[in-house]
Amino acid sequence: MADPQGRIKLRDGRYLAYKERGVPKDDANFTIVLVHGFGSSKDMNFNVSQELVNEIGIYFVIYDRAGYGESDPNPKRSLKSEAYDVQELADRLQIGSRFYLIGISMGSYTIWSCLKHIPQRLAGVAMVAPVVNYRWPSIPESLMKKDYRREVVKWSFWIAKYFPGLLHWWVTQNMFSTTSMLEKNPLYFNDQDIEVLKHIKGFPMLTKEGLRDRSVFETLRTDFLVALGDWDFDPADLPDPFPSGPEKSTSSVHIWQGYEDKVMPFQLQRCLCRKLPWITYHEVPKGGHLIVHYDGVCDAILKSLLLGEDLPMYRPKAVIIEPA
Question: Using one digit for the tens of pLDDT, what is the confidence trace for 180-198?
Answer: 445 556 778 899 998 888 8
The pLDDT tens digits of the residues spanning 24-81 come to: 999 999 999 999 999 999 999 899 999 999 999 999 999 999 999 999 999 999 999 9
Say which amino acid occupies 262.
K
Higher pLDDT, 86 or 201: 86
Domains of the chain by residue range:
2-132+231-314, 141-228
Backbone angles phi, psi at 28, to 5 degrees: -80, 145
Question: Other C-beta atoms within 10 Å of 295: how many?
Answer: 9
**Percentage of residues of the chain with pLDDT beyond 90:** 70
Q: Report the pLDDT value the prediction gives residue 284, as an integer from 0 to 100.
A: 96
pLDDT higher than 60, residue 248: no
From the list 233, 53, 206, 41, the residue with the least C-alpha distance to 133 is: 233
Q: Chain-wide mean pLDDT for the chain?
A: 89
**For the chain, first and last CA: distance in Å?**
48
Q: pLDDT category, 151, cuts 50, 70, 90?
A: confident
Q: List, as own/partner pairs, every contact residues 50-57 make where C-beta atoms lie below 8 angstroms and the sequence separation is at least 24, other chains included.
A: 52/299, 52/302, 52/303, 53/21, 53/22, 53/23, 54/23, 56/29, 56/30, 56/302, 56/306, 56/307, 57/23, 57/27, 57/28, 57/29, 57/30
Q: Are 178 and 171 in contact (CB under 8 A)?
A: yes
Spatial distance between the Cα atoms of 218 and 172, rounded to a whole number of angstroms: 13
Instruction: Give the three-state DSSP class for 241.
Output: coil
Q: Rounded mean pLDDT of 272-291?
A: 94
Spatial distance between the Cα atoms of 24 and 282, rounded to a whole number of angstroms: 30
**Percentage of residues of the chain with pLDDT beyond 70:** 90
CATH number corresponding to 2-132+231-314: 3.40.50.1820
Q: Rounded mean pLDDT of 115-134?
A: 96
Strand pairing report for 58-63 and 15-22: antiparallel
